[in-house]
Structure 1
Amino acid sequence: MARYTGPKTKKARSFGEAIYGPDKYFERRKFPPGQHGTSRKRKQRSDYAVQLTEKQKAKYIYGVLERQFRGTFERATAKHGVTGEWLLKLLEARLDNVVFRIGLARTRSGARQLVSHKHILVNGIVSNSPSHQLRPGDVISVRGKSQSMDVIKDSVANRSPESRRYTWLEFSPDKLEGRFIEYPTRDMIPEKINEQLIVELYSK
């Protein structure tokens, strides 16, 4: 399965949430996509369907493929603590997610592209792996010759207020440099994901 590149509003409507962030088109049409629109009666879903939907939602939010998601879950189970919380912590520690969170890109897909095209450094070394797992203390910066790119300058100049509230991250707009301070606690992660449903799904 390849990453989803279709209409984001349509996908958000299928989950009933603006999973990709504020979306004026979603606000206008919050009902599920399809020719029957609001007239379609929704059947009561099984526990499995609810759990599967939650996993799919998490995958689309973070832009992770099934194999990567399963691997992240397995690493989370090996950690000491609550598996569901560690799953989200590891997803938040992905390089593409952190590049997005600190404001070097406006979307996670845009952040993934910056990393893949070798515009981002981790501790001074080029990393072209969006799934690169950061550790507390790691420094994320923009490669010297990439610092003049309009897409990066525009993203930094228009950073969302939310990007300044992530206390587990530091960012210096002047240096185009950030730091992954620590793994966030669950209450710091703003994504509306019921991670326990995902744990129950994989525990079957």
Structure 2
Amino acid sequence: MKIAVIKYNSGNVQSVLYALERLGAHPILTDDPNEIKSADRVIFPGQGEASTAMGYLKARGLDQVIRDIKQPFLGVCLGLQLLCEHSEENDTECLGIFPVKVKKFIPENSQEFKVPHVGWNELENLKANPLLKDLPENPFVYYVHSYYAELSEATIATTHYIHDFTAILNRDNYWAIQAHPEKSSEVGEKLLSNFLSI
């Protein structure tokens, strides 16, 4: 199976590659449109800033490549946010795969809630979906983010921090996870394994 991990100016890509290799996969890191189009699975990870990342994608024509993907596609962290239609981070127009807005966390109590949201938190309100198959009861995943996707019809799992937000999205062949599965121990490994099996 050919797994393309999209290369763009974002952090955290190497840990995603290691996590896939631990599952026995052999991913390639690439920003070549032809490599991405010919892959069996495409993963769009990253940490970084939305407008800079979108600029990189547009400069290489990868924005349209991502919109045209027909194979299973997984966005992770910033990858989830860029698949939405708009981010409050530097007022960025994103890819529009999910008709969802990305907003900044506003803590009601700065003593209790810090931004960014960093640490382990529970996945809740899980819907029946192949990505969520056979997860343990009360699954916890690891987050590092200041922005979140609003709840929508595409939401298949939520997490509560300050308020409920979208933890995982799915629409057609596109899935996206706000947390970092590559840092989320057995639960994250299961999410990645499920994605490779879709």
Task: Flag the structure with higher helix content.
Answer: 1
TM-score, normalised by the number of residues in structure 1: 0.26
TM-score, normalised by the number of residues in structure 2: 0.27
Task: Flag the structure with higher strand content.
Answer: 2
